[in-house]
Amino acid sequence: MELDPNKAGWSKEEMANHVAMDIPEGAYVNLGIGMPELVAGFVPQGREVIYHTENGLLGMGPVPEEGQEDPELINAGKKYVTAIQGACYFHHADSFTMIRGRHIDVCVLGAYEVSGAGDLANWSTGKPGAVPAVGGAMDLVAGVRNIFVITKHVTKQGNPKIVENCQLPLTGKGVVKRIYTNLATLEVTPEGLVVKDMAPGIEFDQLQEHTGAKLKMP
């Protein structure tokens, strides 16, 4: 049966849930902007996880209730947030000491492309004339031990996002540990990409067909 790799498999919420299940109790976690933000909603009850936002808050809470927004309490995406009991604020050099000094346990990011060797491209579409903007992406991939990517398996046009070699400007080389997509969960290993889990109804051959890098079953 023909597979539409854009529609098949898990929903965004199910993908976020898979990531959340792999974040251990007590972890300090940085969530990127967009789909990674969904992960916070799926941490199991009773598991305590502390969210870092690189603009200067450890202990980031959910979005505020209407009317409670504070323009001086925002996240890295410049959206209004709250601070939990036990939160703390700090300046940027301290915030990036947490990142670059390898104190953050997990970072969940989106991707334009990921290679079989764990190279990540997620900051520039490489279009000439576009204004380049990098923010904290390169610091996060260079400094956080566990870089998890959450992404659709293919682009809107149906091309693989998981590729042999990234064509877009890199954010970091060999930095990604795990890739969570709508079709599968993949582990980046020295031997290449290993399939940890596949969405119901997906065959290995179909998964390989929509993946630019070679896959292995464990």
Q: Which of residues 178-217 bind another protein (CB under 8 A)?
A: none
| Min separation Cβ 9 and another protein, Å | 31
| d(C-alpha 204, C-alpha 114), whole Å | 19
Among 5, 9, 136, 212, binds another protein (CB under 8 A): 136
Q: Which of residues 33-62 bind another protein (CB under 8 A)?
A: 53-57
SS3 state at 20 = helix
| Min separation Cβ 34 and another protein, Å | 14
| d(C-alpha 111, C-alpha 114), whole Å | 7
Asked if 196 and 185 touch (Cβ cutoff 8 Å), the reply is: yes
Non-local (6+) Cβ contacts of 132 within 8 A are 123, 124
Catalytic annotation on 54? Answer: yes
Give yes or no for residue 93 binding another protein (CB under 8 A).
yes
Asked if 56 and 91 touch (Cβ cutoff 8 Å), the reply is: yes
Q: Which of residues 150-179 bind another protein (CB under 8 A)?
A: 169-173
Give yes or no for residue 133 binding another protein (CB under 8 A).
yes
| d(C-alpha 136, C-alpha 213), whole Å | 27
Give yes or no for residue 73 binding another protein (CB under 8 A).
yes
Catalytic one among 13, 25, 54, 66?
54
Half-sphere exposure (Cβ direction) of 203: Cα atoms closer than 13 Å = 6
Give yes or no for residue 89 binding another protein (CB under 8 A).
yes
Q: Which residues are catalytic?
A: 54
Residues that bind another protein (CB under 8 A): 53-57, 70-75, 78, 83, 89-93, 95-96, 99-100, 119, 124, 129, 131-139, 142-143, 169-173
